[in-house]
């Protein structure tokens, strides 16, 4: 039931505006823009009848003035305040029809955030006044609520974007050298012993020299931060004493969340980016443009819903009172609308340009590429990113699935995009767990999933290979728990998925059994070895490199506490694992073979007389059809010939030849080291059963190498002497050898905790 226009215009009294102060201003740019003399305000709404700009005191506690926007141009309300300055706190009240049955939910009693606000002040305080309808009314969301929400909502704040970047330069890490490191702003620094109390959990904490030194020492190139856009703590979590820790509940696409600022200024984020760039580290943001924190028809009115609900959200065809829910969160952002698409791309350009981030990982990216008729590689969103001169030059990574129709689209994004490859995660987990019949599948995945990505000139880096991410078990918990343990989430352990593909090896949870722990840590090394020596772009979940645990919680989205935070009181075994991971990264970066822009197909090149890859049985010979089809096969070798064509130019390669062997069998397997053209013998670079080996031990062709059960090995071919054709390969071999030796000397930059656990040791 719709409300009358009289009811719609009811709102609390406020001091009358001095209309002489306001000038016409401009409809562009959208948002609040300080020009050195005053502030231009511009807000889009296709269906509103009028818009009031509400000014607040500096604390955002008292509304001091309400000014009607004087001009309406191309569906944009705009005005200019000559005496307004950075720091001005404001919001909007938007008038129009309250007709949920046709998709309109205007209610000027609700103070609204500017969608383009660069800074938010305060947080949502859950109260019935936040809702456009009256909770408990027989008419439900068709009723109209007249309570003022200003006391319970964040406010927008005008910012001065001036910032001196100095000699800062983007690292511009090539895709083929990229190693992602996914982490959380608060979780990474909250317990770090070197970070001060004031800076813990903040962007400022990430600038701590010891934090930067640790990331650099590990060797990762690109830190991917979980959402930093302003977000909301869901009401049902607040009622249980929890918070939305992960941040996948966005309220503002231009504003960093206030909880991550140690200072009153958003330039703190720029300082953090500059610090990372000076250290040669890229900054990648996990962004959530697929939905907002306003939920469905029963959700609050905080911004978009009250500004122009019918434009900002996808509504049910024929029943616009209700929302399309392809995200599973209640609503779906309508990127088919040109102004909404503009908001998304403006936001991306703001973060890539003004804030200088190096790329984006798009949560539920399939939704952004879904048009009314379904997912399309020709969607306006994908076209906009591809054609934009700035966005087309930064790293774009899709999470290529959602819960909507046709939601799983791995491998379907266009050239220029990388994609999270969940098939890699599941296949490699299953293989190392010892599942039957996984060899053919894992062969495909460690070769960058050519069946999915080898098309339209895409490169192996398009496959973002990962074994763990924020959602699910940590790598440590993957080898310690068979079942999820999410009791702390307050949902009787019903939340989170049960398809973990994990193995506790006989004991659920932590154990004091040395033999069991050795097996578990060897499996961790196997996982990391496989990840780092696979074609594609590897991604590490922060803390996995030193065996961080969440005590079996595989859905820590609400655990803003010790469960979700990284514990920097690392055990000696954890330090040893981190040193091993560092060695893997250094060796990977020294091997051009792993960075080649060509997929592996195992076909024989008649002209060059070489195969790019051969898949070997334990006999050292190529696998037979019978061995491929044997579901009991759990051990195989991968021979990568450095002479194979390395680029589009048809000529022999000159990289070091590699041999990888993966043994997922629980017992020892004898593997015959094969003869390889152009070499004299093999040198062992990696053996996960002997992680501390400090020299490249030689092994002759034909040697039966006794592989420990559940282990991973890498050998390099030592080139034959006196052959001029192998000189380039020799140089490659020497480079890798020197890198290996250096990796044995270098150490990861850990800072030991003091007895109090919150200060670095002297």
Supply the residues annotated as catalytic: 363, 399
CA distance 25 to 79: 4
Is residue 306 within 8 A of residue 113, CB to CB? The reply is no
Distances (CA, A) of 326 to 178, 246, 349, 374, 451: 31, 20, 25, 11, 27
Of 265, 268, 183, 192, the closest CA to residue 227 belongs to 183
- Quote the tokens at residue 113: 């955030």
Distance from CA of residue 481 to its chain's centroid?
25
Of 214, 97, 114, the closest CA to residue 158 belongs to 114
Is residue 486 within 8 A of residue 495, CB to CB? The reply is yes
- Quote the tokens at residue 612: 């790019």
- For residue 753, the 8-state DSSP code is B
Contacts of 379 (CB under 8 A, 6+ apart): 335, 368, 369, 370, 371
417 phi and psi angles, rounded to 5 deg: -100, 145
Distances (CA, A) of 465 to 202, 435, 529: 29, 20, 12
**DSSP element (H, E) containing 53:** strand 50-56
Contacts of 537 (CB under 8 A, 6+ apart): 175, 178, 179, 180, 418, 461, 462, 463, 464, 465
Give SS3 for 99.
strand
What is the β-pairing status of strands 222-225 and 282-287?
parallel
Contacts of 242 (CB under 8 A, 6+ apart): 489, 490, 558, 559, 560
CA distance 473 to 476: 8
Is residue 154 within 8 A of residue 126, CB to CB? The reply is no
What is the β-pairing status of strands 180-183 and 222-225?
parallel
- For residue 482, the 8-state DSSP code is S
């Amino acid at each position: 039931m719709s409300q009358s226009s009289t009811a719609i215009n009811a709102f609390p009294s406020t001091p009358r505006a001095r209309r002489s102060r306001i000038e016409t201003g401009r409809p562009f740019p959208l948002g609040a823009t300080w020009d050195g003399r005053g502030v231009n305000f511009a807000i889009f709404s296709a269906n509103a009848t009028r818009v009031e700009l509400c000014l607040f005191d500096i604390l955002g506690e008292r509304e001091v003035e309400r000014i009607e926007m004087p001009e309406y141009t191309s569906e944009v309300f705009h005005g200019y305040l000559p005496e307004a300055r950075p720091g001005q706190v404001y919001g909007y009240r938007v008038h129009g029809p309250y007709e949920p049955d046709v998709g309109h939910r205007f209610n000027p009693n609700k103070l609204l955030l500017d969608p383009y606000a660069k800074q938010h002040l305060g947080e949502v305080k859950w109260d019935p006044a936040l809702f456009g309808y009256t909770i408990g009314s027989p008419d439900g969301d068709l009723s109209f609520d007249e309570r003022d929400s200003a006391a319970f909502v964040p406010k927008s704040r005008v910012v001065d974007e001036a910032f001196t970047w100095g000699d800062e330069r983007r690292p511009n890490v090539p895709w083929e050298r990229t190693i992602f490191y996914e982490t959380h702003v608060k979780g990474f620094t909250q317990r770090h012993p070197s970070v001060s109390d004031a800076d813990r959990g903040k962007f400022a904490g990430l600038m701590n020299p010891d934090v930067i030194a640790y990331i650099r020492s590990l060797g990762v190139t690109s830190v991917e931060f979980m959402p930093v856009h302003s977000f909301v703590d869901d009401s049902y979590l607040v009622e249980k004493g929890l918070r939305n820790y992960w941040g996948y509940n966005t309220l503002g696409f231009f504003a960093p969340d206030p909880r991550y600022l140690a200072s009153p200024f958003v330039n703190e984020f720029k300082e953090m980016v500059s610090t990372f760039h000076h250290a040669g580290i890229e900054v990648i943001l996990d962004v959530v443009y697929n939905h907002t924190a306003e939920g469905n028809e029963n959700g609050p009115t905080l911004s978009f819903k009250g500004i122009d609900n019918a434009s900002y959200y996808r509504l049910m065809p024929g029943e616009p009172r209700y929302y399309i829910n392809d995200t599973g969160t209640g609503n779906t952002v309508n990127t088919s609308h040109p102004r909404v698409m503009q908001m998304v791309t403006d936001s991306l350009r703001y973060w890539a340009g003004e804030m200088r981030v190096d790329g984006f990982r798009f949560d539920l990216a399939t939704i952004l590429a879904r048009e009314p008729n379904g997912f399309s590689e020709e969607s306006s969103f994908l076209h906009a990113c591809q054609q934009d001169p700035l966005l087309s030059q930064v790293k774009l990574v899709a999470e290529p699935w959602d819960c909507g129709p046709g939601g799983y689209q791995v491998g379907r994004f266009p050239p220029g995009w990388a994609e999270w490859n969940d098939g890699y995660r599941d296949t490699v987990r299953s293989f190392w767990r010892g599942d039957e019949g996984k060899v053919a599948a894992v062969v495909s995945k460690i070769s960058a999933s050519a069946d999915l990505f080898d098309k339209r000139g895409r490169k192996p880096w398009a496959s973002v290979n990962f074994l763990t991410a924020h959602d699910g078990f940590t790598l440590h918990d993957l080898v310690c728990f068979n079942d999820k343990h999410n009791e702390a989430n307050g949902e009787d352990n019903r939340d989170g998925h049960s398809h973990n593909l994990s193995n506790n090896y006989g004991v659920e949870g932590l154990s004091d059994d040395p033999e069991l722990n050795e097996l578990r840590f060897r499996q961790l090394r196997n996982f990391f070895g496989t990840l780092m020596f696979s074609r594609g772009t590897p991604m590490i979940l922060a803390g996995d490199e030193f065996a961080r645990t969440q005590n079996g919680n595989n859905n820590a989205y609400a655990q803003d506490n010790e469960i979700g935070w990284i514990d920097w009181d690392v055990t000696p075994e954890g330090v040893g694992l981190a040193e091993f991971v560092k060695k893997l990264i250094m060796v990977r970066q020294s091997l051009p073979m792993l960075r080649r822009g060509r997929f592996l197909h195992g076909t024989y090149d008649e002209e060059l007389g070489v195969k790019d890859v051969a898949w070997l049985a334990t006999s050292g010979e190529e696998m037979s059809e019978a061995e491929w089809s044997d579901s009991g096969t759990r051990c195989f070798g991968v021979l990568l010939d450095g002479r194979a064509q390395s680029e589009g130019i048809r000529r022999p390669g000159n990289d070091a030849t590699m041999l990888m062997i993966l043994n997922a069998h629980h017992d020892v397997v004898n593997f015959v080291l094969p003869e390889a053209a152009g070499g004299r013998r093999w040198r062992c670079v990696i053996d996960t059963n002997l992680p501390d080996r400090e020299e490249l031990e030689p092994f002759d062709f034909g040697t039966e190498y006794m592989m420990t059960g559940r282990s991973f090995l890498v050998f390099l071919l030592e080139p034959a002497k006196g052959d001029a054709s192998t000189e380039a390969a020799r140089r490659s071999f020497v480079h890798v050898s020197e890198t290996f030796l250096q990796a044995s000397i270098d150490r990861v930059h850990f800072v030991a905790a003091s007895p109090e656990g919150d200060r670095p040791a002297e």
